[in-house]
Chains A and B, each alone.
Chain A
Amino acid sequence: MKWIGAALLAGSLLLPPLFAGDFYINLASQILIAAIFALSLNLLVGFGGMTSLGHASYLGVGAYISALLTSRYGFGHGAAALLSIAGTTAMAAFFGVIALRASGLGFLMITLALSQVLWGLAYRMSNVTNGDNGVAGLTRPAPFGISLDSPISFYWFALIVATFALVMMAIFVSSAFGSSLKGVRDQPRRMAALGFNPWLIRWITFVYAGFWGGVAGLLYVYYHKYIHPTSLSTTSSAEALLGVIAGGSGTLGGPAVGAALVLLLKNYVSAYLERWNMLLGLVFLFIVLVMPTGIVPGVSRLTTRLRGGVR
């Protein structure tokens, strides 16, 4: 059964470019980017028990650094990508020190406050960030001389990065360190008593999540070739959090499914339905009522129950 599922998933990821129009390929690329972003947030929310409302900071800062370095300071894409991911990770290391002084609601408020600071800077430091006009006229990189300008080539690029990200995050959470992270989430005092350092475990996870948030930001700016302060806004953070919770926090597939759901509602259903925000709310309500743990855990529980019933 598991193999059939994997084959179906691989098929649905590999097939779109063969028959779908450009619009759908672009939509699929956006879903992949949103999935990486949601997965990185899920490390905090799902596996670390740290609900952050400021994760867009990493996406936005990663995107802004790359955009500014390539368009204004003449950096190549390779150097800009390295610097932007390094910068984002360093920022996560610093923000982690501040935010992890608190937990629970306090942590959420600090992450929110920090992201608002960055959002405000992006808006008001218009001599650097170009303010409300955003940074336009960007290009996509050409790794190994392969241009990513066509929708299909960009989709393959995003698919490779997303797969790599998923594998890396899967290794992270299934490792011994991942187990200690889950231990800290559920029983921080007992873990401390066992000789673990809960703060350090949380901080490392925070930095790692920031790193992947930066990667998502790079892909985001490559895809849109434009960056604007709205990418740093609370709405952007909240949408990702919504995806994580809807899909199933603490699972590997859940956030990807949830991110896809939010993105499809926002970018596809909105063409047919003016009040798509309301539909998003209703869908979320439905998920909370019927599958409180999220779509992926909910559906898998449903299928095992059905199979059990047949037997």
Chain B
Amino acid sequence: MTMSRRQFVGSVAGAGITSLAAPHFLSAQPSEPIRIGLLAAKTGPLASGGIDMDLALTMFLRERENTLAGRKVELIVADTAGVPATARTKAQELVEKNNVHCIIGPLAAFEALAIADYLTEKEMPTLGVAAAEDMTQRHPSPWFVRLTSTSAQCAYPLADYAAKELKYKRIVTIADDFAYGHEMCAGFQRSFEDSGGKIIQKIFTPLATPDYGSYVAQVKAGDAIFLGTAGSNGFRFLRQFIEYGLKDKMAVIGGMTALDESVLRNMGDEALGILTTSWYSAELDNPLNKAFAPAFRKQFKYDPGYYAGSTYVSGEVLEVALKSIQANVEDKKALMAAIRGSNADTVRGVIKFDGSGNAIGNVYIRKVTKSDGRLVNSVIKTYPDVTQFWTYDKAAFLKNPVYSRDYPPAKNLEQ
């Protein structure tokens, strides 16, 4: 066959253009690595959590020499900066430019909500960290699972514990004024009042509150105060709460991020004795965590907490799922089915998934104690296999509106 020079040039250029236009046609070779995208806020106000997420996942992969189920793994970390619009651009980058096979993260609810539609549209398997209730309740996605907990999932057991074992009757709640805080307090209130207690005051403070003095002064006398804060806010509130001498008058209990290990390392003995709830603690006594937590502490000089735990657990679940499908990540439906059916044993204990993709797992009541000269969250009670619906009927639960500032209504507030 003969070919004129012009034809040749044309066909080469054509081939070049096609390959540029459709890079995804080139994938699906078994020798290719599995590409995992991590969306983490590594700059901005949420950076400390985001960096922990990155460190723990990188550590997980390094322990396995970057190989899961016999196939090489490439981790691509994208910095969302804690800004929804950036999170969306970064999600697009991971999906469209890096052609990742699955995504882990992001952390903040508003980041997750900003990209939820997009990831569902692109049919991208996602292992979420953010706690927004409706992502696995009224608007679940076949492509989304959550390995941590909903905002309220860990608050129910603590409310139960406070009412039944601590015999508290009247509790004040204080939380950050955004959905995570609203949802957590709503869940706490519902469970606590169903057990006979009363929420006498609900305080919501802006996410960036420089001074908690005016809020501390408002706190009414009750048996205890429940902290539904995130990031360093719990620590900053607590410091002023103690300065005002209130800690001797009422007990302090906290949600899953209030006294996270990442906050605890900045606190002194004033934190001793505070009870919190979470799906994880660096002190958990199981073989996997006995290996993970000391290794993490050795490498980074502090304990892993909520954020580090979340991506490590994601890695563990993903590994089990990949093994069951012989690492054939190209079949996204099979990957999702394998993740949902993984029943993986992880550093937080065994987790299963319910029909909407949310984790069913142990929730731990933890008490701040001192061990080896540092503060730790030691586990004092385990609530096994807690679901996002707690003891409530799922159908009735989903008929109600999503938890918010005003729902369920607080009937026992004191003026």
Contact = CB atoms under 8 A, between A and B. Distances in A.
B42 A274 contact: yes
A208 interface: no
Contacts of B195: none
A133 B79 contact: no
A271 B347 CA distance: 30
A21 B23 contact: yes
Contacts of A133: 109-110, 113, 132, 178-179
B206 A230 contact: no
Which of A123, A134, A137 neighbours the largest number of chain B CB atoms within 10 Å of its CB?
A134
B206 A123 contact: yes
B78 A136 contact: no
Main SS of the interface on chain A? Answer: helix
Given A134-B113, A137-B117, A267 B206 contact: no
Interface stretch (A164-172, A189-197, A220-228, A251-259): A220-228
B114 A21 contact: no
What band does the interface of chain A fall in when counting residues whose beta carbon is under 8 Å from B?
20 to 34
A19 B84 contact: no
Contacts, number: 91
Contacts of B20: 19-21
A136 B114 contact: yes
A60 B205 CA distance: 24
Given A21-B21, A21-B23, A23-B96, A134 B42 contact: no
Interface string A1-33: 000000000000000001111111011001000
A201 to B, nearest CB: 34
B273 to A, nearest CB: 32
Given A21-B23, A26-B92, A132-B178, A226 B84 contact: yes
Contacts of A18: 17, 21
Interface in B30-58: 42-43
A134 B206 contact: no
Nearest to B132: A133
Nearest to A235: B83
Given A21-B23, A124-B177, A26 B96 contact: yes
What band does the interface of chain B fall in when counting residues whose beta carbon is under 8 Å from A?
20 to 34
Contacts of A24: 97
Nearest to A25: B96
Contact of B113 (A127, A226, A230): A226
A257 to B, nearest CB: 20
B149 to A, nearest CB: 18
A183 interface: no
Nearest to B176: A132
Contact of A230 (B79, B84, B177, B405): B84
Nearest to A131: B178
Contact of B117 (A123, A134, A136): A136
A270 interface: yes
Which of A18, A127, A228 neighbours the largest number of chain B CB atoms within 10 Å of its CB?
A228
Contacts of A19: 17, 20-21
Contacts of A226: 84-85, 88, 113-114, 117
A222 to B, nearest CB: 13
A277 interface: yes
Nearest to B20: A19
Contacts of B83: 228, 230
A133 B114 CA distance: 9
Contact of B93 (A20, A231, A267): A267
Contacts of A277: 43
Interface in A278-303: none
Given A18-B17, A226-B88, A271-B78, 20 more contacts: A18-B21, A21-B96, A22-B92, A23-B92, A23-B93, A26-B96, A123-B206, A124-B206, A132-B110, A132-B177, A132-B207, A133-B178, A134-B110, A134-B113, A225-B117, A226-B85, A228-B83, A228-B84, A267-B86, A274-B42
27 contacts: A18-B21, A20-B20, A21-B20, A21-B23, A21-B97, A23-B92, A23-B96, A26-B96, A27-B89, A30-B89, A123-B207, A124-B206, A126-B405, A131-B177, A131-B179, A132-B179, A132-B207, A133-B110, A133-B178, A136-B117, A224-B84, A224-B88, A225-B117, A226-B84, A226-B88, A267-B86, A277-B43
Interface of B: 17, 20-21, 23, 42-43, 78-79, 81, 83-86, 88-90, 92-93, 96-97, 109-110, 113-114, 116-118, 132, 177-179, 206-207, 405
Of all A-B residue pairs in the complex, the 10 with the closest CB atoms, nearest first, are A132-B178, A23-B96, A23-B97, A228-B84, A22-B96, A226-B114, A133-B179, A136-B113, A267-B89, A19-B20
Interface of A: 18-24, 26-27, 30, 123-124, 126-127, 131-134, 136-137, 224-226, 228, 230-231, 266-267, 270-271, 274, 277
